[in-house]
Every structure is written in structure tokens, then in C-alpha cells.
Chain A
Amino acid sequence: METILHYINLVLYVEPLRLLLYLAGLIMFVAANAAYLVLLERKVAGHIQLRIGPKENGPFGLLQPLADGIKLMTKQLLTPSGIDPILFRIAPVMVMVPAIMSFVVIPFSDSIVARNMDIGLLVVLAFATINFLGLLLGAWGSRNKYAIMSAARVVSQNIAYEIPMLVTIVAIIMVSGSLNMHTIVSQQLGGFWQWNLLNIKASLLMPAAFLIMFICMLAETNRAPFDLVEAESELVAGPFIEYSSMGFGLFFMAEYSNIVIGACLATILFLGGWGCPFGILPGVHWFLIKIYLLIFMVVWIRWTFPRTTFYGLLNLSWKVLIPVSFVNLILTSAMLKVF
């Protein structure tokens, strides 16, 4: 797999062709992920509740995402009266495009990366923030009080959780000395004892830092138990309440691709990217195994814990995550200075 892709890379080192191939591949990856993560979610939800989940369409319900997609696409795209026509139409795009763009800089393996930028990490974080702007504008444009309320929640929640996440990432950047994700992973190759997760030489709090990063990722993607944004019982459906058909579909796809991006980021920063835990056969398969394990964790958490209150959410961030991440940052810088 790896060598074949490497070969394709060499043969097609005609830049436009290479770009086109990566673009198509990434869009396919995002779409397939969004479709099949929904199925995974429903299956895991079912089994946790001793049910089966989708099973009628195809073997093990494997054609369910296809059926859902067709259903969404054949529905009418309704535009309510009184909306802001530009913002309403632009918002799904603003949510979906950054989600795809972030994948451009993510190194899936040593050779599979669309564009290996020196500021790759910054690009992902910047694009992740555009996502919330899209949600806010969409909610504002659809002239719906529930949508605006949940958009306000999106923003305050994401400001609260952006801080500990960024502070944790800064600690990692200090350890690796680079914003280039390829370099960050390269430093962790060789086995699980090399991972930043267990990099106790840099800071004793690194495992806690991973936990913080993971919790922030849950909150940033508006997943349970931090899904106050969607809060079905009070806000109906979140910022995209007025969207129907594929407009809603785009928001939904973006949500799942953001989970994938979060898992990729956690894998790259803490779990050694494409490196094998035992130092043999590194490659894209290890990257995929790691991100899907993390995604399974995310789904598992969603179907375990009830939704927190808004105060609980903000208290957790400001009283626990931010202090601990700052302690980690200070500890890391001290250790780097001393050794």
C-alpha cells in the first residue's frame, strides 16, 4: 500500500495532477468517514443498550449510510422566510470546507501527506476555528431563537476549551520544537515509549495533557457529554435547526469530519502518528488503527455519560483543565531549561 502510493507519488509528480488526486482522495475519505461513522455510532449505541442497531440494509446494515444519503439528497431544501439569504447559504460551506482543508496538512504516513507545511499544526487549528464562525453565521442567518441560543453556546464553549487545548499543544511544540506535524511524528517513532504521551522526561504531566487534549476535542466537536449545543430536549437540534436536506447533511458531515480531525491531531501529537507501538512496520495502517480507536472512545463516551450542565462545562474548563494545562506548560519549560 505504502510503496504503491509512494510510486504513484513519483510517477505523478506533475503538481496539478497530484493535487487533484489528493483532493479527490481527501474528499472521499471525509465523505466515507462521515457516512460510516454514523453507522458506527448507531451500532455502538445499539450494542451498549443491548440492541442491534441498523441491520436490514445490506449485511450488518452496511448499506444504511447509502440509504440515508439518498434520503437526505431527495429531500426538499427548504429556505424559511425572513432568513439572511447569503449567510444562510454560505454557512454550510463555511463549516464543511475547513473540515476538508484541515486534512491537507495531516500526515497519514511518512509519504502520504497532501502538503507538508512547516506551520501545519497552526493551519489545522486555524481552520478548526472557522468552523465555529460558520455555525454562528448559519444560526444568525436562519432567524431562529433556538439556533441563536445554541450558536452562543458554541462560541462560549469553544472559547473556553480552545485555551487548554492550545496551551497543551504549546507544551508539545516546545518539546518537539516544530509546528511541522511530520517532524513531530518523526520524533516519536520507534515505539510507544517514545510517544509524547509517555514523555515523562519532558513533563510528568504528559498523560494528563493527553487527557486534557482529548476532553477539549470532545468539547470542540460538540460531542456528548458536552453537547449542550445540540441539547435535543431544549434547543431541538442546535445551530442548524432550520436546515433541511443536504444543507443539514453538510453540517452533519462536518461534525463527523471534525471528530476525525481531532482524533488525527491527538494521534499525531501524543500517540506517535504512523509509528508502530512496538517499533515494527510503521505505516498508514497504524495511523488508521489509532484514530479509529480514539473515535471509538469518543462514541463510547457519548453513549455512557449524560449531558453536563453549562456551569459544569465551564467550571471544568476554567477550574481544572486550564490550571492543569498551565502547570504542564510551566513544568515542561522548566524541564527543557534544566535538561
Chain B
Amino acid sequence: MTDYFKEIFYGLKSLLIGMGITIRYCFSPVVTVQYPHETLKMPARFKGHIELIPDEQTGTSKCIACGMCQRTCPSGCISVDGEKPEGAKTKMMTSFMLDYTKCSLCGLCVESCTFSAIRHSMRYNLAGTSKQAYIIDLKKRLEESKK
């Protein structure tokens, strides 16, 4: 008989504790990020597709088109072209194309770059209607970001 009342008592008590927890949650601030209206800041080590780092003084790319990244890339998605202008000491990069459809984001290109000219970008919400949209001209992108 005492067990019967004990069960009722502890049952009621645990129910009230549960309700206490939910009401506390009900009035605590929501954690939802209203995605299209607001976005989260990506953490520093987020790996998006690669992009060129602008030089702090000139604002142009630090790339000298040595081709290390192109050779390291296991998927063969980077193609760099460069030429040596008259009288200059180093080569100048003329085009830097990334085929993002093949990229597996391994990051070997970033590691292999001795001039710290490339990094991972923070882009995560990519969408496109054609394959062509993911063949990205990184040089053009850098110039556009400068403006």
C-alpha cells in the first residue's frame, strides 16, 4: 500500500520536474539562426574553395605561377599560367583557373604554396545551374573583390 502512494508521489514529482525544465526552455532565448535573413560567421578554419590572397601593399596576387599547387593537386583541378615580363625578376601569374567540380578540398595546394598566395575561402552557400558555374576564375575573383 505504501508503495502505491510512493509511486504516485514520485511519479507526480518527476512530472513536475519535467515541466519545470520545459518551461525554462520555453522562455530562454532561441538558438535558431534565421538563415536567409542572417548568417553565421564561418569559423577561421573553415575550408571553402581556394582563393588568392591579395598582397597587402599592391592588392594584386602574390602568386608567381611556379605551378607547385597545380602539380600537387591530386584531382588536377588547378591550372595556372604565367609569363615573365621584360625586365622583371619573377614570373607574373596571368590566369588561375579552379575546376571546383573535381576539387575534394584536401588543402594540399594551400600547404604546398611557398609564397602563401592561396587560402581557403569562406564561401559555403554555393548554388549554380550549370557545371560551368563551378569552373572559377580566381584571378578575376580577386580583381573583383578588390573593387
User: Do A and B make up one complex?
Assistant: yes
Chain B nearest CB, measured from A320 CB (Å): 6
Expressed in whole angstroms, the Cα–Cα distance for A301 and B12 within the complex equals 13
| Contact of B19 with A47 in the complex, beta carbons under 8 Å | no
B21-29, B56-64, B98-106, B139-147 - the one binding chain A: B21-29
Indicate which residue in B18, B27, B34 contacts A304 across the interface (CB closer than 8 Å): B18
Expressed in whole angstroms, the Cα–Cα distance for A48 and B25 within the complex equals 5
Chain B nearest CB, measured from A257 CB (Å): 24
Expressed in whole angstroms, the Cα–Cα distance for A32 and B49 within the complex equals 52
Nearest to A301 among chain B residues (CB) is B19
Which residues of chain B come closer than 8 Å to A52, judged between CB atoms? 30, 32, 34
* Contacts across chains A and B counted by CB atoms under 8 Å: 36
For window 20-56 of A, CB contacts with B under 8 Å fall at: 44, 46-52, 55
Which residues of chain B come closer than 8 Å to A48, judged between CB atoms? 22, 25-26
Q: Does B127 contact A (CB under 8 A)?
A: no
| Contact of A50 with B22 in the complex, beta carbons under 8 Å | no
| Contact of A300 with B26 in the complex, beta carbons under 8 Å | yes
Which residues of chain A come closer than 8 Å to B40, judged between CB atoms? none
For the residues of B in contact with A, the DSSP-based class is helix
Which residues of chain A come closer than 8 Å to B32, judged between CB atoms? 50-52
Which residues of chain A come closer than 8 Å to B19, judged between CB atoms? 300-301, 304
| Contact of B22 with A304 in the complex, beta carbons under 8 Å | yes
Q: Does A305 contact B (CB under 8 A)?
A: yes
Q: Does B88 contact A (CB under 8 A)?
A: no
Q: Does A303 contact B (CB under 8 A)?
A: yes
Indicate which residue in B18, B21, B26 contacts A47 across the interface (CB closer than 8 Å): B26
Expressed in whole angstroms, the Cα–Cα distance for A51 and B35 within the complex equals 13
Q: A300-B23, A320-B8 are in contact. Are A51 and B18 (CB under 8 A)?
A: no
Indicate which residue in A49, A301, A305, A320 contacts B25 across the interface (CB closer than 8 Å): A49
Which residues of chain A come closer than 8 Å to B31, judged between CB atoms? 50-51
Chain A nearest CB, measured from B30 CB (Å): 5
Nearest to B31 among chain A residues (CB) is A50
Q: Does B15 contact A (CB under 8 A)?
A: yes
| Contact of B8 with A47 in the complex, beta carbons under 8 Å | no
Which of B22, B28, B29, B30 lies at the interface centre, i.e. has the most chain A CB atoms within 10 A of its CB? B22
Which residues of chain A come closer than 8 Å to B22, judged between CB atoms? 48, 300, 303-304
- Convert A53-70 into 0s and 1s, putting 1 for each residue whose CB lies closer than 8 angstroms to a CB of B: 001000000000000000
Expressed in whole angstroms, the Cα–Cα distance for A305 and B28 within the complex equals 19
Expressed in whole angstroms, the Cα–Cα distance for A301 and B18 within the complex equals 9
| Contact of A44 with B26 in the complex, beta carbons under 8 Å | yes
Expressed in whole angstroms, the Cα–Cα distance for A94 and B32 within the complex equals 41
- Convert A177-205 into 0s and 1s, putting 1 for each residue whose CB lies closer than 8 angstroms to a CB of B: 00000000000000000000000000000
Nearest to B20 among chain A residues (CB) is A304
Chain A nearest CB, measured from B78 CB (Å): 42
Q: A304-B18, A305-B15, A320-B8 are in contact. Are A51 and B30 (CB under 8 A)?
A: yes
| Contact of A50 with B15 in the complex, beta carbons under 8 Å | no
- Convert A276-302 into 0s and 1s, putting 1 for each residue whose CB lies closer than 8 angstroms to a CB of B: 000000000000000000000000110
Nearest to A49 among chain B residues (CB) is B25
| Contact of B27 with A47 in the complex, beta carbons under 8 Å | yes
Which residues of chain B come closer than 8 Å to A47, judged between CB atoms? 25-27, 30
Which residues of chain B come closer than 8 Å to A303, judged between CB atoms? 22
Which residues of chain A come closer than 8 Å to B23, judged between CB atoms? 300
Chain A nearest CB, measured from B32 CB (Å): 5
Which residues of chain B come closer than 8 Å to A301, judged between CB atoms? 19
Expressed in whole angstroms, the Cα–Cα distance for A49 and B31 within the complex equals 9
Expressed in whole angstroms, the Cα–Cα distance for A46 and B22 within the complex equals 11
Question: CB within 8 Å of B: which residues of A?
Answer: 44, 46-52, 55, 300-301, 303-305, 320
Query: What are 9 pairs between A and B in contact, CB < 8 Å?
Result: A46-B30, A47-B25, A48-B22, A50-B29, A51-B30, A55-B34, A300-B22, A300-B26, A304-B19
Additional pairs, 20, CB under 8 Å, beyond known A50-B25, A305-B15 = A47-B25, A47-B26, A48-B22, A48-B26, A49-B25, A50-B29, A50-B30, A50-B31, A50-B32, A51-B30, A51-B31, A51-B32, A52-B30, A52-B32, A52-B34, A55-B34, A300-B23, A304-B19, A304-B22, A305-B18
Q: In the A-B complex, list the 8 residue pairs whose CB atoms are closest, starting with the nearest.
A: A304-B22, A47-B26, A50-B31, A48-B26, A48-B22, A304-B18, A51-B32, A304-B19
Question: CB within 8 Å of A: which residues of B?
Answer: 8, 15, 18-19, 21-23, 25-32, 34
